[in-house]
Structure 1
Amino acid sequence: MMKTPITVLQELMVKFSESPEYECVAQSGPQHLAVFEYRCAARGHVVSATARSKKEAKQEAARLMLARLAAAGLNVPAPYTAPCAPCPPVAGDGDAVAAGGGARSYKALLKELCQEYKLPGPEYTLEGDTGPAHARRFTARGAVGAHQRVASATTKKAAQQLAAQQLYQYLRENLARLTEDFVEEEALARAHERAMERYVEARADAPHRPDLAQRVADYHLEEEKVNLGADALEAASPDAEPETALQAVAGALGLRAEWHSLPAEGGSLTLVRLAPSSPPLVFCARTREAAAAEALAYLRLTMKFRDQK
């Protein structure tokens, strides 16, 4: 098995006769939707990460610290050398997770508010995008009836969340007397439960269950590339070598497959990383063929869910 970020960081710090320091600094949200924040300090650097469990938050903090140390010039082993952003907590769908990984989803809250007070449902439109592929900014418009707000961010979902936040706060302030009994935590819990129900239904006929440590993020893929990737998946022959098929699909998506080998008990492990992506998508197996097959299965499932959105 591949070593966890905590183990890798501990082994790295032993070389300096030091140990990393971890601290759970915050907990937010209701008990059934708690979000934990862990802080990690090592070699004069401090990072923090959030997740739905203390264990995941601690692992994420260790992973961020490894990326920070690698950027500072330390010899960090692959695949923890690439800079990466903190991963948001996993939920049933994108609307049930707050923009930026926090405990609030303003899209979910706005939808709940509109349903409870018989307002028109929120609508979102993409107004445009600017900048190069590696630094794209998206502008989204959110509307509830005649009320509209426009916001920009580095992803489509984040822009929609910001527009929803502005609309939600405006409605709460201007309908204060009507909405004073609207409980945000209960609304988020209802949205989360419905999202999980849809998630379970969508996964019912999926034979492959990806590693839950691999979190789905917005990879800034243009619609044209997504269609090309889906076409490449359909065109791949069932008898084709997984590695050859993976190269074709990754190329269509504008990604590249990077291969690494790690020593392990009883032999070695093969890792394939699809880049550029944030967080990194890494798949591990005993052979290149098996690692490529895992990556293909993940891409096939991701394409399927994108089509259903």
Structure 2
Amino acid sequence: MMKTPITVLQELMVKFSQSPEYECIAQSGPQHLAVFEYRCSARGHVVSATARSKKEAKQEAARLMLARLAAAGLNVPAPYAAPCPPCPPAVGDGDAVAAGSGSRSYKALLKELCQEYNLPGPEYTLEGDTGPAHARRFTARGAVGAHARVASATTKKAAQQLAAQQLYHYLRENLARLTEDFVEEDALARAHERAMERYVEARADAPHRPDLAQRVADYHLEEEQVNLGADALEAASPDAEPETALQAVAGALGLRVEWHSLPAEQGGSLTLVRLAPSSPPLVFCARTREAAAAEALAYLRLTMKFRDQK
């Protein structure tokens, strides 16, 4: 039987005559949908993790600590030496991992893992939402067959991503010998290709291009195209050039990317990028093409997040 992260971390710390420290630092949500956050400290490192039970949160915190120690050069046994994204910096910032600009889509990874090893497809349900309108927290449940995880965040999509992340790591750890040939970067590339294939098929069935409003509050793309754009954003590699990512996302939304250059008053020139057709025009300006593309991507990301909260 495979050892749990808590056991592996305890055995590792014994070699240094030390013990890891655990602390339950937060509990949120109603009693029947409570979410617990555990903090783990060891060798000068601190990580935190959330789950629907204290036991699962503690195990997840131990797993994250093992990955952190492995990155610091300690000899951590497989599969716990696998790299993981940085932990949220503060309590309540549950979507920092899932929705950060440098993160990867665990929903896409989980879906690819299930397809490759003939597991039931992941399913997501909204379990509840709490808090005032300006500080809403959503609780989502992700399930693969009989396995399920629940997570909460400030948006529905971020909560789903966190649930998918917990499920993905659980399956990789417990099926380590069977999934050792699963390459995450290849899986993300396949997810991106499928998203683009769906876009091409959708464009063949509905070739019109909807207008895009300048104000986020007036954003009114059709649901299918919003989903395609969101898929393209999620599937984009964190290391991709902003221009490449913008081209993929704009294409999924049915928009052209047009580049223009204007002379600047203080010398040099300004780069303009326009997403067309849109009414009123969507134009973003910066000193370089990369910076202009990054501005446009930031706007689209904010728009998708707003749409997801509605």
When normalised by structure 2's length, the TM-score is: 0.40
Number of corresponding residues: 309
Q: CA deviation at 1:202?
A: 2.5
Offset, 1:177? 0.3
- Quote the sequence identity (%): 95
Unaligned runs of 5+ in 1: none
Q: 2:80, 2:214 → 1: CA distance?
A: 14
Q: Which moved more, 1:203-212 or 1:215-224?
A: 215-224
Conserved in 2, the CA contact under 8 Å of 1:122 and 1:144? yes
CA deviation string 1:39-60 (max 9, x = no partner): 9999999999999999999999
Provide the rounded CA distance (Å) in 1 between the counterparts of 2:161 and 2:234. Answer: 33
Shift of 1:104: 1.2
Distance 2:132 2:19 in 1: 41
- In the alignment, the residues of structure 2 paired with residue 244 and residue 187 of structure 1 have an alpha-carbon distance, to the nearest angstrom, of 19
Shift of 1:260: 22
CA 1:269–1:197 in structure 2 vs 1: closer, same or farther (change >3 Å)? same
Preserved CA contact (<8 Å) 2:155 2:305: no
- The offset of 1:169, in angstroms, is 0.2
SS in 1 for 2:169: helix
Stretches (4+) displaced over 4 A: 1-98, 204-309
Cα deviation, residue 71, structure 1: 37
Does structure 2 retain, via aligned residues, the 8 Å contact 1:105–1:161? yes
Cα contact 1:217–1:279 (8 A) shared by 2: no
Compute the RMSD of aligned alpha carbons. Answer: 18.1
Distance across 1 between alignment mates of 2:63 and 2:175: 44
Q: 1:54 to 1:72 in 2, by over 3 A?
A: same
> Greater CA deviation, 114-123 or 253-262?
253-262
Higher alpha-carbon deviation: 74-83 or 299-308: 74-83
* Alpha-carbon distance, 1:196 to partner: 1.3
**Structure 1 residue 101, shift from structure 2 partner:** 2.5
Preserved contact between residue 49 and residue 86 of structure 1 (Cα < 8 Å): no
Deviations 1:243-279 (A, max 9, x none): 9999999999999999999999999999999999999
What is the rounded CA distance, in whole Å, between the counterparts of 2:20 and 2:133 in structure 1? 36
Q: CA deviation at 1:18?
A: 51
Which string of whole-angstrom CA distances, capped at 9 and with x for unpartnered residues, describes residues 148-168 of structure 1? 100011111110000000000
Q: Any unmatched runs of 5+ in structure 2?
A: none
Q: Deviations over 1:17-51 (max 9, x none)?
A: 99999999999999999999999999999999999
- 8 Å Cα contact 2:195/2:228 also seen in 1: no
After TM superposition, the structure 1 stretch with the greater mean CA deviation from structure 2, 101-110 or 152-161, is 101-110
Kept after mapping to 1: 8 A contact 2:88/2:96: no
Alpha-carbon distance in structure 2 between the residues aligned to 1:276 and 1:69: 50
SS at match of 1:22: strand
Q: Structure 2: how far apart are the matches of 1:64 and 1:165?
A: 12
The residue correspondences of 1:204-219 to structure 2 (distance < 5 A) are 204=204
Conservation of the 8 A alpha-carbon contact between 1:10 and 1:20: yes
* Partners of 2:58 and 2:284 in 1: CA distance: 21
Change (3 A) 1:193 1:124: same
- Counterparts of 1:302 and 1:119, CA distance in 2: 33
Cα distance, 1:100 vs. partner? 2.1
1:126 to partner: Cα distance: 0.3
Alpha-carbon distance in structure 2 between the residues aligned to 1:269 and 1:3:
57
SS of equivalent to 2:100: helix
TM-aligned CA distance change 1:252 to 1:181, over 3 Å: closer
Q: What CA deviation, in whole Å up to 9, does each residue of 1:132-163 have, x standing for no partner?
A: 22221110000011111000111111100000
- Kindly tell me: are residues 289 and 140 of structure 1, through their superposed partners in 2, closer, same or farther at Cα, counting changes over 3 Å? closer
**1:219 and 1:277 in contact (8 A); partners too:** no
What is the CA deviation profile of residues 76-111 of structure 1, one whole-angstrom value per residue up to 9, with x for unaligned ones? Answer: 999999999999999999999963233411001001
Report the CA distance between 1:193 and its aligned residue.
0.5
Q: In structure 1, how many angstroms separate the alpha carbons of the residues matched to 2:59 and 2:261?
A: 22
- Would you say the 8 A contact 2:85–2:97 is kept in 1? no
**Preserved CA contact (<8 Å) 2:36 2:57:** yes
User: Does the 8 Å contact 2:52/2:151 carry over to 1?
Assistant: no
Q: Which moved more, 1:204-213 or 1:39-48?
A: 39-48
Evaluate the alpha carbon distance shift between residue 51 and residue 221 of structure 1 in structure 2; reply closer, same or farther with a 3 A threshold.
farther
Residues 119-138 of structure 1: pairs in structure 2 closer than 5 A = 119-138=119-138
Q: 1:142 to 1:209 in 2, by over 3 A?
A: same
**Alpha-carbon distance between aligned partners in 2 of 1:262 and 1:4, rounded to the nearest angstrom:** 59
Q: Which range moved further: 298-307 or 123-132?
A: 298-307
